[in-house]
Structure 1
């Protein structure tokens, strides 16, 4: 793969030469041209430099969706430093662990997070400064306000010092057990994703994205924030996912062409009472879904609701920068995440890492320039994850004769009952085909007779509140073998989810064990 830039600051600089007056970012009532944005980035880089940020330093962002987040990332990249975007919904103790682990020198945050972040400068040894994007709870030598800092910095024309194989960003995985791990992603890793995504989606400078999912997430960061700069396009920033009507309104008014989301969002979209003019006159040419699998029911409803746009499912993980596979436009296969992106290789292997025949289920492994450099400060975990350049994803999958990937389940979610493999995703999909079930999550629990048995937690659709678990079991018996029917079905008001809508099964497992 040939790379046109060494870093994404260089990518921005070249975009300004071509489209200086083109609007690149829309947010609420404001908009920024490529030239205006570059000027903000340069001033931010100088301000961070004056705070002592140099090459290979880490700068953490516990920050809502904002222009300040984006310009900080580009400024950090210009300095050859490393961005560490962190989940904004964690607690103080979790932040302290991550900041200590990556040795963050500077933290960029907002007043909405002040309860959990205000004292981090005092409790994290490496942390020298906290920059507040709006207002600071206190102002002293350790705390400063973003705009005041940037406006006071006189821009100096320093060249970017970040190289292709330098670490550009560290994404901390949510971690199913123990502490989260920091996946180190280089400029090369990210650039490979941008090149591959442009090729797969036929993207042009006319395309416009909408960014409402949290920017700290690897999917949003790379494919929704950095990619528009690569294609010389533009994007709309939505500071908060609620109210949902704002996303709909801005998608329509700003003439968004590429809409990326996760199953939770698409389920909400097909249930929303969308105005007729939105359905007829929106500019969306492509919906892209990642994070977790869409159910067949959602795909069918989506196709009948949005007839002028295609829905493309994709697959990725933070350790792969993050995109690995996406369905091609015009050649998508239902329930598949598509073939691997340009320049990447995939295999399905058994426990001995031997490749399995077409159609057989095993662990999906990935090789290519998307694969992370490793886990920060964790050589043992890195060696466990990467074998001869191949990344073990931990996902069970199969590949068809055309090279299309089908994700079957997570290895850790696999249920083995009396020696028989049970894939929770299959049960979940069948449950969500029932009119009464809005969302389902199936986990395995220990059983003295079978080893493990499946149990389910579900959210009910509006109007079906009186549906009983026994009624759901009865309906499932028509479609599933007896050993796949959940032993218990628990109705909950809301399943625990990540910021991108993925159900947190570890919380359900902890709940069932208590």
Structure 2
């Protein structure tokens, strides 16, 4: 493999931070509703937090949990944990008590850093975990007196002081040097991110400093980030994609990142215009929501040039990209990548000068992609759908405490993804769905994503997700769950079924259509198909 030309050298990303703190100490690293956290401040505060963890008995290899929405405190804690050689364990801030309890127990974490508004959930989960120390932080602590962007209502809450916990920022007031833990091996585990649980219980994927650096380079250089760029980060930092872009790529490149607590279409417009943002990673539904804001065209988005995006709920196609250009005239919107937690995501990248709509790009430098027959393991010819397997410096070390699951996924250095895909003669990869989600109708294979990509073209369909249902004669049949487009002509389930039968092979067309107000999703917008099988009160068939 051709050596990777990293921007500095092969070293942990927090060492990139140290370099930025030396070369541009006073420049903003993160901008939080108008308050700037400089590179020097970020380096010093994360050093101090690493020392605070050490003083509480945390050593190299220990897991430390993070439980909060996007905020600068998340970034400081994440970096401080890794400076100590400990392992970051992100937990979704959407978790309920039993979900947090499961992950904390599985991690074996003794320390958690949480938002004060989530304390009751921590307390509910704590008795059956190893947690013996809780740091709490208040989202508003680092806000400016006069925010430059509208604040989410949930940030503006009174600060809580809870006995038996440590205030996160209070413990950083007296700067301390980072603990001397000796050299860190690039193959040491630095992160355990849990699979989203779309099938079965979540598993902790063990990811290394090398994995993080390799994919930060891939994301920054395949969708070129320039020294004069400004990034907007909206995707959750606790999720692998949001973490890679909003945190790791920022550390890798040294550009300023405008960080938002969560997605809000008006606040995104304000941030894009106020900070002349040039580079934004989004989910397609975010773009759609932004364009629907009343007065959206009044915001100046002329600085935005690069908008890599992911299709969740809404497909990224040429029509959406052209519509987006009407709001951001210099910007290219495109399907950016295929990736998964087990590979630290971003395994392919779409060439912006040779976009193929419906595809997910070509393998990045250092990533080998094969499509195989799941039964025989033999490689399949170009254009044929099979199981995607991957090998690269981004591959995880295995699942935490789950050797059998590791052995079934990681074979001879190849990650067996469980995803269906095809690679065309030009080398472009197209994701076709999960094997477990493939629908068998009278022996024919139906890929949910293919049906969804056709149905989303109907003018009355805003979002759609497809699942298989039992059928006594055919084995399975197709069912579509639809969110109707506001303001579009009302269409009945039967009318939509008839339209589908004209647009696709009859066996692919839905037998049932159910209308809902929303689709169940993960925090990043990925549709949880297993939950679509649960009955809803309001439906049509």
Q: Shorter-chain TM-score category?
A: over 0.9
User: Which residue is equivalent to 1:315?
Assistant: 338
User: Which residue is equivalent to 1:401?
Assistant: 425
User: Which residue is equivalent to 1:19?
Assistant: 24
User: Which residue is equivalent to 1:223?
Assistant: 245
Offset of 1:153 from its aligned partner?
Answer: 6.0
- 1:383-434 Cα offsets, whole Å, 9 max, x none, are 1111111111122111112211111222111111111111111211221111
1:477 and 2:481 equivalent? no
User: Which residue is equivalent to 2:131?
Assistant: 127
d(CA) in 2 for partners of 1:373, 1:59: 19
- 1:296-336 Cα offsets, whole Å, 9 max, x none, are 35345335554421123111111111211110221221111
The residue correspondences of 1:17-416 to structure 2 (distance < 5 A) are 17-124=22-129, 126-134=130-138, 135-136=159-160, 138-140=162-164, 143-152=165-174, 154-155=176-177, 158=180, 161-242=183-264, 244-278=265-299, 281-290=301-310, 292=312, 294-296=315-317, 297-303=319-325, 305-313=327-335, 314-351=337-374, 352-416=376-440
TM-score (norm 1): 0.94
d(CA) in 2 for partners of 1:159, 1:283: 43
Offset of 1:245 from its aligned partner?
Answer: 0.4
d(CA) in 2 for partners of 1:287, 1:256: 10
Structure 2: which 5+ residue stretches go unaligned?
A: 139-158, 537-541
Offset of 1:240 from its aligned partner?
Answer: 2.6
Higher mean displacement: 48-57 or 305-314: 305-314
d(CA) in 2 for partners of 1:510, 1:381: 27
Q: What secondary structure does 2:379 align onto?
A: coil
Q: How many residues align structurally? A: 507
Is the 1:263–1:501 contact (alpha carbons within 8 Å) kept by the matching residues of 2?
Answer: no
Moved over 4 A (4+): none
Structure 1: which 5+ residue stretches go unaligned?
A: none
- C-alpha RMSD over aligned residues: 1.9
- 1:335-372 Cα offsets, whole Å, 9 max, x none, are 11110111111011112221111111111111001111
d(CA) in 1 for partners of 2:127, 2:431: 45
d(CA) in 1 for partners of 2:417, 2:307: 25
d(CA) in 1 for partners of 2:186, 2:20: 18
Offset of 1:442 from its aligned partner?
Answer: 0.8
Over 3 Å counting, the alpha-carbon distance change for 1:130 and 1:484 in structure 2 is same
Is the 1:425–1:442 contact (alpha carbons within 8 Å) kept by the matching residues of 2?
Answer: yes
Offset of 1:215 from its aligned partner?
Answer: 0.9
d(CA) in 1 for partners of 2:290, 2:419: 28
TM-score (norm 2): 0.90
d(CA) in 1 for partners of 2:109, 2:221: 35
d(CA) in 2 for partners of 1:230, 1:251: 22
